[in-house]
Structures are given as structure tokens and as C-alpha cells.
């Protein structure tokens, strides 16, 4: 039974996805670049008593460092232990730089976390202190390099909780910038050997950073970043003042660094035989995150990843888990598909 479900997409998404007969953006995939970013870093547990909501069973503060990055970053982990027979662990990440817990999407998101714990899943919500997407000034690191932080943390969580339990599933979901965290784990850091299910919702908005920043071809307009998105990309390269960086300026000389920073870069891995990657979009999401995410989906299909799914949810905005149907679709996917393959 095929797991690829093609459903009606938003007008913006259709413009990008159908530009080449349903094969995604017209621009070619970037050529392979150096150096690769698949080397993971280290995690230090700083505290097991950090301030978190009372509902958490545990709350840890950790510091994550990576050999290719100039600065480390702290994160809070809000951990909810499973009830009954344990089935696995699920990571939850929010948008933008990932500051804030997934439960902040609202009452339905909180309820879904409770229901998953009741079904036997440990839930780990990740909140970055400053934001994983902020690069060091002058370092010109970019999003793919910065994604070492969430990838390193995900691997550490896996090894801490269930390295000796191969029968336990390990899964992850994130919205918008959180979906980028999940996507880079697969495309650049080899976590397809660890993740059984990945649910990117509302993205990833960094599918083709080069086409979003270099606004030279009208055919790529659905992928272009607006001012806020361009500022986010520029912060990843260490340009912290909005409007001053190469993405905001559409600097053609940065085309190669932008390509290297993309989820769909020339150096990535897009064949994941045992990981189900299921994309969720909202029909009311008219941002470039939809066609950017579809660029990644298309690459997975092109490279032959066998387990790829997609839903577009009626009436749902960009923040997919903020809507009841979005939160519940994530719950249902975890319940049915978060399993060892």
C-alpha cells in the first residue's frame, strides 16, 4: 500500500509544485558542495531542575555544542513519561528559532501530548534559549550548519532514553522552523538510522534557501522570502540587523552559501528506506513555507524514499498544531506510524 497521498494543495503550493508537471521548482538541484555538515557535536546536562510547567515529569537544561559552530546553545527539555507499556519517544519542536514548548500551540496541542503519553509514548518538548537559527557574527555559518544543534540533541535524547531498547520507536515533529529541525536531521545528519517517523508541518521553510533569497527568476516567486523570512535567513549567517544581510539584499554573490544552507542542497541525503516522512500543510497557509516544503518532498520522491506522505488540512493555518484537526492529525500519525520498521 502506497503511503504517498496527494491531496488538494493551496494555490501558492500548486504554482510551485506544478511548474514542471508536478515535479517541483524549475531550478536545478545545486551541485555537490564542501564541506559536509554531518558531524554531530556534544550535549552537556546542566540542570535537572530547570523551571518548567508543573505538568512535566522532568525538565532539563542542556548545552549543545558542535565542532563547526562558533557558539554553543542552551535548550530546555520538558519531558513527559509514558503511561502503561512504553512504546517509544517523540520529539516536539516549535517554529522560528524553536523558542518555546510545543504545547504553546494551544489546548488541543496540550491534550494531544497527554493522549500520546497515555498511549505509551514519552514526549520531549524542546525549547531553545536563544534560538537554534542564530549564527555567530562574522562566522557565515548558515542553516544547515546550525542544524547540527537540534540533530546532536535528538541523537543524545535517543541514546539517553532508549539506545538499549531497539524495540522502542523514536519519532519527531516540528512546525515551520521546527519542521526544518526535523528535515535537516534527515538530510544532513544521518538520523534516518534513528528516526522511524518524521512529521514536518508547515514546512520546512528552508527547502531551497538559494531560490528564496536570490529573487532573480519570476518562476521561483512562490519560494521567495518576505522581509521577516529574509531576516531569519540572514541571522543564520550572522547578520543580526534586519535588512542588512545578503538574503534581504538578494546578494547574488551568496548564491552558493545559500544553496549549501538549504535542506535540498547538493550534499544531502534524501533516500531513507525505513523512515516515514509525512508532511502536513494547512489550506490557509499562503506563505512560501508550503512551496519550500514541497521542494523537499519532491527531492525525497526523486531519490526514491519509499515512505513519503502528505496531507493538506482544510481550514488550518500555517501553525498546523494550533488547529484541532492539525494537532489530532499529528496524534493519529504518531499512534499509527511511530513504530520500528
Q: What CATH number has the domain bearing residue 76? A: 3.40.50.1820
Query: Would you say residue 6 lies in a domain?
Result: no
Q: Do the domain assignments include residue 71?
A: yes
- Is there a domain that residue 180 lies in? yes
At 15 the pLDDT is 40
Give the list of residues 6+ apart from residue 181 with CB closer than 8 angstroms, or none: 93, 98, 132, 147, 150, 151, 172, 174
Tens-binned pLDDT, residue by residue, of the chain (341 aa): 333 333 334 434 444 443 433 444 434 544 444 434 578 999 999 998 766 776 678 999 999 999 999 999 999 999 999 999 999 999 999 999 999 999 999 999 999 999 999 999 999 999 999 999 999 998 999 999 999 999 999 999 999 998 888 899 999 999 999 999 999 999 999 999 999 999 999 999 999 999 999 999 999 999 999 999 999 999 999 998 888 899 999 999 999 999 999 999 878 999 999 999 999 999 999 999 999 999 999 999 999 999 999 999 999 999 999 999 999 999 999 999 999 98
Residue 67 resides in a domain = yes
Q: How many domains is the chain built from?
A: 1
User: Quick one: DSSP state of residue 306?
Assistant: S
Going through 207-307 in order, the beta strands assigned E by DSSP cover: 276-282
pLDDT of residue 50: 66
Q: Could you give the CA distance from residue 247 to residue 225 in angstroms, rounded to a whole number? A: 8
Per-residue buried b or exposed e for 234-265, using 16+ beta carbons within 10 Å of the residue's own CB: bbbbbbeeeeebbbbeeeeebbebbbbbbbbb
Please report whether residue 3 resides in a domain: no
Q: How many residues does the chain have?
A: 341
**298 domain-assigned:** yes
What pLDDT does residue 266 have?
A: 72
Find the domain containing 331 and state its range: 11-22+34-337
CA distance 213 to 70: 24
Query: 27 in a domain, yes or no?
Result: no
Q: Is residue 96 assigned to a domain?
A: yes
Q: Structure pTM?
A: 0.89
Amino acid at each position: 500500500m502506497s503511503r504517498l497521498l496527494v491531496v488538494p494543495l493551496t494555490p501558492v503550493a500548486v504554482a510551485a509544485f506544478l511548474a514542471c508537471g508536478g515535479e517541483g521548482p524549475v531550478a536545478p538541484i545545486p551541485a555537490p558542495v564542501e564541506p559536509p555538515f554531518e558531524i554531530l557535536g556534544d550535549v552537556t546536562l546542566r540542570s535537572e531542575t530547570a523551571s518548567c510547567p508543573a505538568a512535566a515529569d522532568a525538565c532539563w537544561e542542556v548545552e549543545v555544542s558542535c565542532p563547526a559552530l562558533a557558539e554553543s546553545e542552551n535548550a530546555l527539555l520538558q519531558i513527559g513519561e509514558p503511561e502503561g507499556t512504553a512504546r517509544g519517544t517523540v520529539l516536539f519542536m516549535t517554529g522560528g528559532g524553536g523558542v518555546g514548548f510545543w504545547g504553546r500551540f494551544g489546548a488541543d496541542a496540550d491534550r494531544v501530548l497527554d493522549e500520546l503519553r497515555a498511549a505509551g509514548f514519552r514526549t520531549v518538548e524542546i525549547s531553545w534559549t536563544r534560538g537554534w537559527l542564530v549564527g555567530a557574527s562574522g562566522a557565515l555559518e548558515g542553516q544547515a550548519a546550525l542544524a547540527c544543534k537540534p540533530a546532536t540533541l535528538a541523537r543524545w535524547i535517543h541514546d539517553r532514553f532508549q539506545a538499549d531498547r531497539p524495540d522502542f520507536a523514536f519519532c519527531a515533529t516540528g512546525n515551520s522552523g521546527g519542521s526544518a529541525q526535523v528535515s535537516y536531521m534527515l538530510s544532513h545528519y544521518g538520523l534516518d538510522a534513528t528516526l522511524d517517523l518524521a512529521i514536518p508541518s508547515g514546512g520546512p521553510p528552508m527547502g531551497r534557501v538559494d531560490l528564496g533569497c536570490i529573487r532573480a527568476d519570476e518562476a521561483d516567486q512562490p519560494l521567495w522570502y518576505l522581509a521577516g523570512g529574509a531576516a531569519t535567513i540572514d541571522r543564520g549567517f550572522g547578520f543580526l540587523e534586519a535588512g542588512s544581510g545578503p538574503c534581504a539584499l538578494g546578494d547574488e554573490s551568496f548564491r552558493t552559501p545559500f544553496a549549501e544552507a538549504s535542506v535540498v542542497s547538493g550534499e544531502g541525503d534524501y533516500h531513507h528506506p525505513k523512515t516515514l516522512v509525512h508532511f502536513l500543510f494547512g489550506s490557509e497557509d499562503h506563505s512560501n513555507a508550503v512551496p519550500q516544503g514541497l521542494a523537499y518532498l519532491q527531492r525525497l520522491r526523486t531519490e526514491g524514499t519509499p515512505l513519503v506522505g502528505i496531507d493538506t488540512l482544510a481550514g488550518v493555518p500555517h501553525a498546523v498544531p494550533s488547529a484541532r484537526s492539525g494537532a489530532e492529525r499529528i496524534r493519529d500519525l504518531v499512534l499509527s506510524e511511530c513504530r520500528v520498521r
